[in-house]
A and B are shown apart, each in its own frame.
Chain A
Amino acid sequence: MSLRNRLAIFAAVLVLAVTGTVAFVVHTRRQQDQLVAAAPPVPVTDLAAVSRRPRIVFRSTAIGDDYGRVAVVPLADPGGARAFTRARCDRVYSRDGAAVCLYAKPGFVTTYRAEVLNADWTVTRDLPLSGVPSRTRLSPDGAWAATTTFVAGHDYTSPGEFSTETLVTPLAGGVSLNLESDFTLLVDGRRNGSQDRNMWGVTFTGADGRFYATAASGAKTWLVEGSIRDRKLVALREDAECPALSPDGTRVAIKTRNGQAEGQWLIAVYDLATGRTTRLAEKRSVDDQIEWLDDTNVLYGLPRSGVGPSASDVWTVPADGSGSPRLFIPDAWSPAVIR
């Protein structure tokens, strides 16, 4: 083929690639604007009024200008009007009077932030954070915050450099503890010092400085019980991730692989006294840290495939394996119940 022909073909490819991309981007942008314009208005209510009652704090994923903002609904009417706060978070957790908010700031270099917010949703403290937000929890007494982020090595010539970083930070001030490097992991009474250990998904108990979390090493995961005072993590059960302690402190809701394919999880409830595990009625794969609605029902987020920016809903299912899953809050993610 002559150089001239080749140049002509290249010019054609170039024009096609550029116009195709521009057309697609413009079309997407227009579609997005139409979607926002056509989206049913989200019923909105007064934040101060909702904040006086038992309520659920979550990230709102309803299409529109408030996408990604933290919203609050009364526990009595979760599907009803929502009150928006000024915070925008990818992952949020809240207790009465305090919240912790993880978010990514996309930019040439994407940075990640973790902030502690007060009852007015103003930032009171920055927490250290070095990766993509994954999980966060506050302790019931308000003394500790836990954050899990995903840290990946940048250099693709050194494979396998992947890790999670889970930090437990005293909210009153002071240094953060790293679950991986500051704690000893005990599996079957033996110390596990393997280099590929990873920890994630902390849930605090009411008692001072105790918590449950996930530990992983090799292909295995464990539900571990941790103590900040002893700096120890003790494995309780294999194949259990992202624990969430029930309000009465007797059970832990977990996600478990249970022999399924990579990336598929079932949700179950593990009884701390008997060691028995009960599978819940939800059949779909759940990749979330569960939140307890009350002592008999749990909440969890499920992504919903569809048009527009990421759609997700919060679902509920009884915690004893009975019943069936039910849509709880549409267009919501990362729920926290404040009783």
Chain B
Amino acid sequence: MYISIRDRPAGPRDRRTRVAGTVFLLGVVSLLTDVSSEMVAAVLPLYLTAELGLSLIAYGVVDGLYQGVSALVRIFGGYLNDRSNRPKWIAAAGYGVSALSRIALIPAHGFAAVTAVVTADRLGKGFRTAPRDALIADVSDPAALGRAFGVHRTLDTIGAALGPLAAFALLLAVPGGYTSVFVASFAFGVLGVAVLVLFVPDRRTGGGGAGLPLRRLFTELAGPRLRRPLIAVGVLGLLTVGDGFLYLSLQHRDDFAARWFPLMYVGTNLVYLLLAVPVGRLADRVGRARVFLGGHVALLAVYLVAAAPSGGLWLTLLALGLLGAYYAATDGVLPALISPRVPAEARGSGIAAAQTVVVLARFAMALAFAVLWQFLGPSAALCLAAGLLTVGMVAAWRLLKGIE
């Protein structure tokens, strides 16, 4: 990994080089923001039940609903990015809303207030993702996009891992001090916004002009260059079983998994964070579409390991490692795959469209897979999903043929 403070994409001469300084800055913004949000996420269930005496059941129902809203806000964030052509400030608005929501948690004691605050956080997250990724794409050498997104996602995931640590360290110092956690989380959020506002250059991704009108934007999104990858991504998303189900099926099978259920998420994240950069570089070298498909081969392997009748420690660890590899090969590689295919003026919307397709397709799969799970049992349902994914991968491979 090279560190350099530069804001220009590398010229054709030094191709093998550096990730732009802006990418690191945006990574630091994400790191601080993820520390902030994961701090709260880690203690929120306990806070709601133990401190406020709310039942999580009601909270969860509404939460599911708002997650869907977040997917649509994502599109809106992308669209606004391309209309206004000010990615930095659109992203700053999203980060700002999330940061403010932390401090709003302190007076929020009722059910409605807490859900409103959590929703504001989610909306902020949905809103900022596309403009941020558009900015990363804009400052990076098109040939090293995979690595740039890899660097960003690594920093992001480090923040996600540090957040819970920070939260529980605070709770050790101040037993029951949830308010302290919210205050500290707010401080991290503010620092993130400060780095963004003060140091990230206010680039016009569209090359300086005013933004695109809605109709042209739509034409770009439905255009032939984006149509095939979007369909491929949608097909693969539809065949992606959520990690919640994968963890559950591992847990069903052996005692180790049942006991360490909460650690699975950490293990997956660790692998993701270690692999994000190398896999991003690999994507730049051998083709992003190929690596994106390769990630789904890892996912297929996870299905098969999780479906196997008997497990044991090593197989469970293998499954977690493969799942981390899948995230490394898809999460950051997707915007790297999409952004060169859209003109700079429509980049935010293009990235947002791809991410929304993934979220909605996975949501549909989550509903469908729950039915399969119930009628066939975990093992058979996963085998069926593995079969379908194989077919889907062949289809996606054909759709992505000729795409870098």
A286 (CB) vs chain B CBs: closest residue? B53
Chain A nearest CB from B156 CB (Å) reads 13
> A residues within 8 A CB of B171?
106
Residues 183-200 of A contacting B (Cβ, < 8 Å): 193, 195-196, 198, 200
B176's partner among A18, A155, A310 (CB-CB below 8 A) is A310
Most B-side CB within 10 Å, residue of A109, A128, A200? A109
How many pairs of A and B residues are in contact by the CB < 8 Å rule? 194
Chain B residue contacts of A104, Cβ below 8 A: 46, 50
A153 to B41 alpha-carbon distance, docked (Å) = 12
| Contact present for A10 and B190 (CB under 8 Å) | no
Contact with B along A193-224 (1 / 0, CB 8 A): 10110101000000000000000100000000
Q: Looking at the complex, which of B59-67, B83-91, B384-392, B394-402 is the stretch in contact with chain A?
A: B59-67
A58 CB-CB contact with B under 8 Å = no
Q: Could you tell me if A159 and B174 are in contact, using CB atoms closer than 8 angstroms? A: no
Q: Is A274 interfacial (CB-CB < 8 Å)? A: no
Residue of B67, B173, B195 with most chain A CB atoms under a 10 A cut-off: B67
Chain B residues lying within 8 Å of A181, measured Cβ to Cβ, are 374
Binds A, one of B107-115, B143-151, B211-219: B107-115
Evaluate contact between B52 and A10: CB separation under 8 angstroms.
no
A226: CB under 8 A from chain B? Answer: no
Q: Are B184 and A21 in contact (CB-based, < 8 A)? A: yes
Chain B residues lying within 8 Å of A152, measured Cβ to Cβ, are 45, 56, 60, 63
Does A143 make an interface contact (CB < 8 A)? no
Question: In angstroms, how far is the closest chain A Cβ from the Cβ of B143?
Answer: 28
Cβ A21 vs Cβ B183 within 8 A: yes
Which of B57, B362, B374 has a CB less than 8 Å from the CB of A158? B362
Q: CA A195 – CA B58 in complex, angstroms?
A: 17
A303 and B52 form a contact (CB under 8 A): yes
C-alpha spacing A25/B358, complex, angstroms:
41
Q: Would you call A161 and B244 a contact (CB within 8 A)?
A: yes
Task: Decide if B67 touches A106 in the complex (CB within 8 Å).
Answer: no
Known A-B contacts A10-B195, A25-B170, A157-B359; the reply to A17 vs B187 at CB < 8 A is: yes
The yes or no answer to B165 lying at the interface (CB within 8 A) is yes
Closest Cβ of chain B to A179, distance in Å, is 13
Residues of B within 8 A of A318 (CB): none
Question: Which single member of A28, A67, A108, A305 contacts B177 (CB below 8 Å)?
Answer: A28
User: Is B370 part of the contact surface with A, judged by Cβ < 8 Å?
Assistant: yes
Question: Are B180 and A24 in touch, CB under 8 angstroms?
Answer: yes
Interface stretch (choices B6-14, B261-269, B277-285, B302-310): B261-269
Q: A130-B261, A310-B50 are in contact. Are A108 and B111 (CB under 8 A)?
A: no
Q: Which residues of A contact B68 (CB under 8 A)?
A: 159-160
| A130 and B243 in contact, given A25-B184, A158-B362 (Cβ under 8 angstroms) | no
Contact check: which of A21, A67, A193, A303 meets B187 at CB < 8 Å?
A21
Chain B contributes a number of interface residues (CB within 8 A of A) equal to 77
Q: DSSP majority for the B interface? A: helix
Which residue of chain B is the closest to A308 with respect to CB atoms?
A: B176
The answer to whether A303 touches B174 (Cβ under 8 A) is no
- Which residues of the partner chain B approach A287 to less than 8 Å between Cβ atoms? 53-55, 58, 111
Known contacts A108-B168, A130-B251, A309-B176; A195/B57 CB under 8 A = no
Would A10 and B359 count as touching, CB distance under 8 A? no
Taking CB atoms and an 8 Å cut-off, the chain A residues in 91-130 that contact chain B are 104, 106-111, 128, 130
The yes or no answer to A29 lying at the interface (CB within 8 A) is yes
Contacting pair B177 A154 (CB below 8 A): no
- The listed residue (B122, B165, B258) touching A108 by CB distance below 8 A is B165
* Size bin of chain A's contact surface: 35 or more
Q: Which of B43, B57, B363 contacts A150 (CB 8 A)?
A: B57
In the assembled complex, the Cα of A262 lies from the Cα of B179 at a distance in Å of: 25
Q: Roughly how many angstroms separate A152 CA and B368 CA in the complex, as a whole number?
A: 18
With A160-B366, A160-B367, A161-B366 known as contacts, the answer to whether A10 contacts B243 (CB < 8 A) is no
B343 sits at the interface (CB 8 A): no
8 Å CB contact of B109 from A162, A193, A305: A305
With A161-B366, A195-B371 already in contact, the answer to whether A309 and B51 are too (CB < 8 A) is yes
Residues from 282 to 299 in A contacting B, C-beta threshold 8 Å: 287-288
> Are A195 and B370 in contact (CB-based, < 8 A)?
yes
Q: Is B242 an interface residue (CB 8 A)?
A: yes
Judging by beta carbons under 8 Å apart, are B190 and A13 in contact? yes
Q: How far is the CB of B225 from chain A (nearest CB, A)?
A: 25
B380 sits at the interface (CB 8 A): no
Q: Could you list some 27 contacts between A and B, CB below 8 A?
A: A10-B194, A13-B191, A18-B187, A20-B183, A21-B187, A28-B180, A29-B173, A32-B174, A90-B49, A90-B50, A104-B46, A106-B171, A108-B165, A150-B49, A153-B243, A154-B265, A155-B242, A159-B71, A160-B367, A161-B245, A193-B375, A200-B57, A261-B112, A263-B115, A287-B55, A308-B176, A309-B176
A interface residues, Cβ below 8 angstroms from B: 6, 9-10, 13-14, 17-18, 20-21, 24-25, 28-29, 32, 67, 90, 104, 106-111, 128, 130, 132-134, 150, 152-164, 181, 193, 195-196, 198, 200, 216, 261-264, 287-288, 301-303, 305, 308-310, 312, 333
Give 4 closest A-B pairs by Cβ, nearest first: A263-B111, A159-B67, A153-B244, A303-B53
* Extra A-B contacts (15), CB below 8 Å, given A109-B262, A157-B362, A303-B53: A9-B194, A10-B195, A13-B190, A24-B180, A29-B174, A67-B176, A90-B50, A150-B57, A160-B64, A196-B367, A196-B370, A198-B57, A216-B57, A310-B50, A333-B53
